[in-house]
Amino acid sequence: MKSIIKFATLLAVAVGSVSCLDLDPQDQISDANVWGNANNVQLFANQFYGGLRGFDAGNYRSVVADGPHSDKRSDLVCGTTINVYSMGTNQIPSSDGNYTDLYSRLYRTNLLLENVSADSSTSPMAQPVGEALFFRAYFHFELVQLYGDCILVQKPLDVTSGELTAERNDRLEVIQAAIADLKQAAALLPETPTEDGRVAKDAAWAMLSRIALYEASWQKFHVGKGQNTAASTALFEESWKAAEQVISRNNYSLFYNAQLGDRDSYRYMFILEDVVCNPAGLQKSGNTEYILAYRYNTPLKYIEFNITHGMLNHGDNMITAKLADMYRCQDGLPIDKSPLFKGRLTATSEFDNRDNRMNATMLKIGQKYWNNDGTNQSRVTWDDNDLNNCASYDKPTPSGSGYANYKWCTERAVTDAEESYDFPVIRYAEVLLNYAEAKFEQTESITDAELDMSLNLVRGRTNPTMTKLSNQLVSANGLSMREEIRAERTVELVMEGFRLDDLKRWKTAEVEMPMDLLGVQKTGTWYEGQSMNLPLNSEGRILLYKDRVWEQKHYLLPLPIDQMQLNPNLGQNPGWK
């Protein structure tokens, strides 16, 4: 333990040295008591998990607040305070904690890999070495998503390392290195997690599927330097084959509980805790879907973000009409093509005959619900008697969009910011959707059997009677298979940190992001008689954000000024001056 403390102290001193590529004199940290002891090496590796995405506000880890992967920077939800990234008005920062933190974490993964080796999965060092490889891939991927080309770092650096003044590596090279790391990690990691929250083989294959799909899409759809058809085809295949590994291994499944039912199985999955938190009495151990999660724990580690009040109803998380319109009807068709769509005249008509995830994600007028405000509005008996302890969403918030969020909101009495449900870094539904998209994009075709083993399972979990997506449904109704696959992904993973990254890799942000962010249709509907203070657009819809812009430069974040000064060879991303 003294050795671990010594390491922690030295690493803390190293942060901020010379540049973001953190340095630590190698002759000071060669203690054999650390690197020669598997338990101490595992303790050292534990710190890598702090770099996973989570709920906490701050840097790239925050998904629900305003980290760079937050949906609040996208076209589906927005905060009450205007978001400069959503508006396209962000500027080059003087420094960037995301950038420096990722390189700091990369340094530590490399430090372990430099000093420890594992030749097989039976080695006592296999678990921490596999974790270091996993997280080295994870952190490199974060850099590529945010900044594009970046310096590939595969060793701990000292003051003489050429990487400190090197040009950035091409993004494809970095991605290929990350894929190689994940394949090596998969060979070393255990079949299933050795304890809750640890990465195992499925996490490595699932992450490989995500990374390969992202870069395959980037290489396919972005014109110019990055376009590489051969690379994209190969990467799509890497993606679906990695997803297939997870599917065939059968360690995970879509979360479903008969007592909770179709809609609420999806809803309660996101708020499982190891206390009484749902009518079925399920705890986190009953979650069959989370392959990797950022773990929270009552009473050791709370979310420490006012998530229920921040998200419930309108809070600081307003859902837009664009998301509401994206949910398909029960016949599998978009609202502009389905005879089942009931329009928007009444308070709840647009919810009728729709995907059940719509009502699992947002409240509708007249709906009873609970929050964490003690016994007056929180659940007590977890049965129908609790209807005496509920609130009712009877009218829209005057300053809101009219679409009231319901996702990430507890029903139990708990102090604000002390909820402890886990954040899903990787869940099985994403793997299934990765498979469907990668299969389709590789050849721009997909069989009904492939849809049934992937996307239709995700859709059917919440909608057992909903018409499946099929080639016949697409051709008979003039649909686009690509758009249907993308829409399914969007509504399933909303508010989990995917939407903006998806728009970027599909190269559709230039179309989607400049659109006004709108709320409910007020003019000519039930909402016209309600007190709603926000302005309307020309069609009578609530207007949330307008005058948004998206330039080509926004596909990548700018490099911070301090790092450009430390290493002028980095070069700035295109369009940023």
Q: What digits encode the pLDDT tens for the residues 91-100? A: 999 999 999 9
Rounded CA-CA distance 252/243 in Å is 12
Which of residues 116 and 227 earns the better pLDDT score?
116
Please report the sign of the dihedral spanned by the C-alpha atoms of residue 79, residue 81, residue 82, residue 85. Answer: negative
pLDDT at 9: 34
**490 and 432 share one domain:** yes
**Contacts by 527-533 with C-beta closer than 8 Å and gap 24+?**
527/347, 527/396, 527/402, 530/395, 530/396, 531/395, 531/398, 532/396, 532/398, 532/400, 532/402, 533/398, 533/399
**363 and 410 share one domain:** yes
Can you give the residue range of the structural domain that contains 464?
A: 197-254+422-475+483-512
Rounded CA-CA distance 370/286 in Å is 22
Within-domain flag for 75:
no
**370 and 433 share one domain:** no
Residues 6+ apart with CB under 8 A from 5: none
Structure tokens at 327: 């949910």
pLDDT at 20: 43
Last residue of a domain, one of 398, 419, 440: 419
Within-domain flag for 74:
no
Rounded CA-CA distance 37/124 in Å is 9
pLDDT at 314: 74
User: How far is the CA of 570 from the CAs of 95, 558, 576, in angstroms?
Assistant: 15, 11, 13
**234 and 336 share one domain:** no
Using the predicted structure, report yes or no on whether residue 17 has a pLDDT greater than 70.
Answer: no
Rounded CA-CA distance 58/179 in Å is 28
* AA identity, residue 16: G
Residue 305's pLDDT band, with cuts at 50, 70 and 90, is confident
Using the predicted structure, report yes or no on whether residue 24 has a pLDDT greater than 60.
Answer: no
Average pLDDT of the segment spanning 98-127: 95
Rounded CA-CA distance 572/440 in Å is 35
pLDDT at 61: 66
Question: How confident is the model over 175-230, as pLDDT tens digits?
Answer: 999 999 999 999 999 999 999 899 999 999 999 999 999 999 999 999 765 567 89
Rounded CA-CA distance 293/541 in Å is 38
Q: What are the two backbone dihedrals, phi and then psi, of residue 354, each rounded to the nearest 5 degrees?
A: -105, 170
pLDDT at 11: 42
Helices 38-45 and 126-147, packing angle to 10 deg: 20
Within-domain flag for 533:
no
Q: What is the mean pLDDT of the chain?
A: 92
Q: Provide the b/e sequence for 532-541 (b: ≥16 CB within 10 Å).
A: bebeeeeeeb
**392 and 305 share one domain:** yes
Question: How confident is the model over 287-299, as pLDDT tens digits?
Answer: 999 999 999 998 8
Q: What percent of the chain has pLDDT over 90?
A: 86
Residue 164's pLDDT band, with cuts at 50, 70 and 90, is confident
Within-domain flag for 3:
yes
User: How far is the CA of 118 from the CAs of 83, 124, 132, 207, 531, in angstroms?
Assistant: 46, 8, 11, 21, 65
**271 and 363 share one domain:** yes
Average pLDDT of the segment spanning 68-75: 94
* AA identity, residue 533: N
**101 and 36 share one domain:** yes
When computed from its CA atoms, the radius of gyration of the chain, rounded to whole angstroms, is: 24
Rounded CA-CA distance 507/504 in Å is 5
553: closest CA among 495, 513, 515, 502? Answer: 513
pLDDT at 31: 63
The answer to whether the bond into 560 is cis (omega within 30° of 0) is no
User: How far is the CA of 257 from the CAs of 96, 172, 277, 368, 379, in angstroms?
Assistant: 43, 42, 14, 21, 19
Do residues 152 and 173 lie in contact, with contact meaning Cβ atoms separated by under 8 Å?
Answer: yes
**233 and 305 share one domain:** no
Within-domain flag for 118:
yes
pLDDT at 48: 97
Using the predicted structure, report yes or no on whether residue 446 has a pLDDT greater than 60.
Answer: yes
Do residues 314 and 426 lie in contact, with contact meaning Cβ atoms separated by under 8 Å?
Answer: no
**38 and 166 share one domain:** yes
Average pLDDT of the segment spanning 124-149: 98
**268 and 153 share one domain:** no
**227 and 282 share one domain:** no
Within-domain flag for 529:
no
- Determine how many CB atoms are found less than 10 A away from the CB of residue 531: 9
Within-domain flag for 19:
yes
- The least confident of 126-140, 214-228, 436-450 is 214-228
pLDDT at 157: 87
The residue assigned the tokens 């837009």 is 320
Last residue of a domain, one of 419, 439, 465: 419
556: closest CA among 231, 173, 149? Answer: 149
Question: How confident is the model over 340-357, as pLDDT tens digits?
Answer: 999 999 999 999 999 999
pLDDT at 461: 98
Residue 80's pLDDT band, with cuts at 50, 70 and 90, is confident
Rounded CA-CA distance 276/270 in Å is 14
**385 and 435 share one domain:** no
**Per the structure, how many domains does the chain have?**
3
Distance of CA 66 to the CA centre of its chain: 13
First to last CA, the chain: 48
- The least confident of 114-118, 142-146, 312-316, 373-377 is 312-316
The CATH number assigned to the domain holding 237 equals 1.25.40.900
Within-domain flag for 108:
yes
User: How far is the CA of 270 from the CAs of 22, 71, 286, 475, in angstroms?
Assistant: 36, 16, 12, 35
